[in-house]
Amino acid sequence: MSEKAAETYKEEAGKEENALQKGSEEIGNIIESLKPPVVIDGGEVGSHLNEYQGKYVDIGLNTNGNDVTTDDWELFYAGNDRIYLIAADYVATEVLEKQWHVIGSGTTLDTNGFKASSSYQYNVYWPNYPTKFLDLPTEPDNYLSLVMHKQYDLNSNSGKNNSMATSHLLNKDSWNGIKEVAGKSDCIEFVIGGPTLEMWCKAWNEAVEGDTNGFVTIEPDPQTSGSGYKVKHGTTSDYLMYMNGGGLGTTLSSDQKTALGTTYKTFFPHTEGYESCNGYWLASPSAYASNLLMYVRYIGNVNNYYCYDNNLGVRPVVCLESGVQLTETSKGSNIYNVSM
């Protein structure tokens, strides 16, 4: 065979090999595309929370007025065969009152213990002190047992200001307006105005424990004084807890801010003040004093503050019905649909 013929043969053989490889890849892509979408349930989410937390779940409910419903709710955690979602950001007062008709159909936020401030679009605060305790169930097998640790009985402490404030966040009837306007309301069991401290800590510990950016393990600590909860920070029992492991006033590094803004957006949607909103309420009283409620601050710490503070907002929590499944909208996407 001549040298030219040999080169031509090699060239043609190379083309054929490339064509076969390309064809094989195309066949592989076709096979991959034909695979059924990923379907997960509460058990799968609970077992692999670090994989699924923060994925978007479309319940047909917009939170920011842009008419897009696929990125407004994030997968928070799972427990008792139920999947919990949290609003992807602080929810504007206007959305809460005028679009979702909370708290209570046909009423205003102010008459139900909240008061909106025109100066702070994303703020919802208690006017002076809450003046009414909204009744909560007392049976241990009701919905409240799914979200509230029994270290502190709100009903027995109903006369305390932070208990009244917490009752406004935990009373599912108050937030039923959100369920009513959701496009997939048949998949929703109940809605509350924010996560409890236990929910928040459970979600954190199961998803990001052992992170390399200086974050620490957290957990609720039994009350030792006052009315409510303390927060355990590492091996100490402080009332305050900074997620970067530093003391009060510690500024997050640029790397930590990057981490908070991506991996940890489920917990801290912002790393600086946003629309004059400095964080969001947790539906749990503080152990420091009977006027204090727990909240999550934008810079990365769980703190406590007066329940009538006017610089905080809410991130409602949706509990999906038992047996609800999440189906990936397209292969490799971070968006899931809900179905019974």
Asked if 100 contacts 124 with a C-beta cutoff of 8 angstroms, the reply is no
Gap between the Cα atoms of 276 and 296, Å rounded: 15
Task: Dump pLDDT digits (tens) for 60-90.
Answer: 998 877 778 888 999 998 988 899 999 999 9
pLDDT of residue 213: 42
Its sign, for the CA torsion 165, 169, 170, 171, is: positive
Task: Report the C-alpha dihedral over residues 165, 290, 141, 146, rounded to 10 degrees.
Answer: 70
The domain locations on the chain are 1-35, 40-328
Does residue 287 contact residue 276 with C-beta atoms inside 8 Å?
no
Among candidate residues 44, 67, 69, the one with its CA nearest the CA of residue 318: 69
- Give pLDDT, residue 68: 81
The verdict on pTM exceeding 0.85 is: no
Close Cβ partners of 42 (under 8 Å, ≥ 6 residues apart): 78, 79, 80, 81, 82, 83, 320, 322, 324
Which pLDDT score, from 0 to 100, does residue 185 have? 94
pLDDT of amino acid 188: 96
pLDDT at 240: 43
- The two beta strands, 124-125 and 335-339, are unpaired
Which residues of the chain are under the pLDDT cut of 50? 103-106, 118-120, 212-214, 226, 237-240, 242-249
